[in-house]
């Protein structure tokens, strides 16, 4: 499905040599100073979306704008996480889209405590003690000892995740899982 993207014309050189080939359907709109195009198979939006804040600020300075789509974010989540009972996790995320940016950020935070490219399972879990309470759990797979894994998880919580609690609305949590 095509997505609408908009790029503001800039006289500055392209950032990091990134160029965006436009289709024949691209239309220059002089009144807005933008090129409008239907973009199919976007060449790599993660280049911009996963850049450092400094790079993102540079994108804003040159007037580039990107539209994040639910479809892209879902693919990005599936690239980072392994979904247990995929359809159930996907439905949960679709109902609670506010979790998506938190999950995207959480993965890089998890890497800083559990090493590069950790395997993290996402699973929808019902609390047997509280009827109707359903939350999304991220299980970080680790070979650390239980003591070390617990220590790293507490550091992750203290340093970052506890600050996210008002944003996750009680619907997201993380734990460790051992190999």
CA 101 to chain centre: 5
pLDDT value of position 5: 44
Number of Cβ within 10 Å of residue 153's Cβ equals 20
Shortest CA distance to 107 belongs to which of 136, 81, 71, 142?
A: 81
pTM, two decimals, is: 0.62
Q: Which residues pair with 122 in a beta bridge?
A: 83, 138
Question: What does the DSSP 8-state code read for residue 16?
Answer: G
Shortest CA distance to 18 belongs to which of 67, 54, 51, 53?
A: 51
pLDDT value of position 19: 41
In tens digits, what is the pLDDT along the chain, a chain of 179 residues? Answer: 344 444 444 333 333 333 444 444 555 566 665 555 544 444 433 333 445 566 666 666 776 655 455 667 778 999 999 999 999 999 999 999 999 999 999 999 999 999 999 999 999 999 888 888 899 999 999 999 999 999 999 999 999 999 999 999 999 999 999 98
Q: Which residues pair with 134 in a beta bridge?
A: 126
Shortest CA distance to 175 belongs to which of 115, 114, 99, 116?
A: 114
pLDDT value of position 59: 63
The C-alpha atoms of residue 154 and residue 32 are separated, in whole angstroms, by 49
């Amino acid at each position: 499905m095509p997505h609408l993207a908009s790029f503001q014309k800039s006289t500055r050189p392209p950032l990091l040599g990134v160029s965006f080939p436009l289709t024949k359907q691209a239309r220059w709109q002089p009144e807005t100073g933008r090129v409008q195009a239907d973009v199919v198979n976007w060449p790599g939006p993660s280049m911009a979306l996963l850049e450092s804040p400094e790079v993102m600020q540079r994108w804003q300075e040159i007037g580039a704008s990107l539209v994040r789509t639910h479809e892209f974010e879902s693919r990005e989540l599936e690239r980072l996480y392994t979904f247990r009972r995929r359809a159930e996790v996907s439905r949960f995320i679709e109902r609670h889209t506010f979790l998506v940016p938190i999950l995207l950020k959480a993965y890089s935070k998890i890497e800083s405590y559990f090493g590069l490219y950790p395997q993290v399972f996402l699973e929808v879990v019902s609390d047997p003690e509280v009827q109707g309470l359903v939350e999304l759990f991220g299980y970080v797979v680790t070979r650390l000892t239980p003591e070390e894994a617990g220590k790293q998880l507490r550091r992750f919580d203290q340093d970052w995740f506890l600050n996210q609690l008002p944003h996750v609305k009680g619907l997201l949590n993380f734990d460790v899982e051992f190999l």
